[in-house]
Chain A
């Protein structure tokens, strides 16, 4: 019988969502689509992240961030949302916490808004359709 020693398994890789001390990175997901919220949640939790909150529009997203602060490490922010769009919500979150890490989630064709978001302090962006690897790569790089 083979033992673990014979087979250094790739499964032993630390999940992306955990820090070295084993605690999870905490994420707030702001998106008006229940489908996208669920999709991001599934991708993140499968890698050890913890989704600590969700909000369905920009205004609720800002409120939620303030409520969770400082126990939140990253925000995923949809751009097109009712009540308050993602760019405005990003601006308000950065105003409140200069260190906030926000990753924008965008449909194709919103380059101008993505550019504006990056100038305002967003760490990165992801264009839909969301693909697992793309999501993890962009989010992990925003955390380091």
Chain B
């Protein structure tokens, strides 16, 4: 997978997280996963289809999701309820929209699916025939991994 696909997502995640959390966000080191990877507990997934196809996963622990949703709602949430889920979906929406705008400017044409939120323990994600690039974003509320597996349509 070409690294240029992931950079807009990392940049967008950095911009959006810094703005909505109003805090410092650090970008961790990029790593590659060829096969199966475990999911941390809450994952927002957005599909891409067009000249470029694949999926982007925003992966975080349940605790991190609740804390981030609390900050974004300016109220203490104690569980991953409907509001918290809607908040994390919206976060994924905002990051993806910004990244995709950048990718469109670079000439890649594709559509997006609305984000789906997957929650649970002991989950894994497997990508057939395309490896995933992962960049962890460190926030004071925990880490969010931006996990991108896309390829050009053959």
Chain A residues at the B interface, C-beta cutoff of 8 Å: 33-36, 38-39, 42, 80, 107-110, 128-129, 131
Which 3 A/B pairs are nearest by Cβ-Cβ distance? A109-B101, A107-B97, A34-B86
Chain B: interface size category: 20 to 34
In Å, the complex CA distance between A42 and B72 comes to 12
In this complex, what residue of B is CB-closest to A127? B97
Are the C-beta atoms of B104 and A109 separated by less than 8 Å?
yes
Are the C-beta atoms of B114 and A36 separated by less than 8 Å?
no
17 chain-A/chain-B pairs, Cβ below 8 angstroms = A33-B86, A33-B90, A35-B72, A35-B73, A35-B90, A36-B86, A39-B72, A39-B73, A42-B74, A107-B93, A107-B94, A108-B97, A108-B101, A109-B98, A109-B100, A128-B93, A129-B19
In Å, the complex CA distance between A36 and B16 comes to 15
Residue from A33, A38, A80, A129 whose CB has the most chain B CB atoms within 10 Å: A129
Interface residues of chain B: helix, strand, loop or mixed (majority): helix
Instruction: Kindly list chain B residues whose C-beta atoms are within 8 Å of the C-beta of A80.
Output: 114
**B35 interfacial contact with A, CB 8 Å:** no
Chain B nearest CB, measured from A142 CB (Å): 23
In Å, the complex CA distance between A109 and B101 comes to 5
Chain A nearest CB, measured from B100 CB (Å): 6
Instruction: Kindly list chain A residues whose C-beta atoms are within 8 Å of the C-beta of B74.
Output: 42
Are the C-beta atoms of B89 and A33 separated by less than 8 Å?
yes
Chain A nearest CB, measured from B24 CB (Å): 17
Chain B residues at the A interface, C-beta cutoff of 8 Å: 16, 19-20, 69, 72-74, 82-83, 86-87, 89-90, 93-94, 97-98, 100-101, 104, 114
Instruction: Kindly list chain B residues whose C-beta atoms are within 8 Å of the C-beta of A33.
Output: 86, 89-90, 93
Chain A nearest CB, measured from B14 CB (Å): 13
| A129-B20 contact, Cβ under 8 Å, with A33-B89, A35-B90, A109-B104 | yes
Instruction: Kindly list chain B residues whose C-beta atoms are within 8 Å of the C-beta of A129.
Output: 16, 19-20, 94
Chain A nearest CB, measured from B92 CB (Å): 11
Chain B nearest CB, measured from A47 CB (Å): 15
Are the C-beta atoms of B98 and A108 separated by less than 8 Å?
yes
Chain B nearest CB, measured from A76 CB (Å): 15
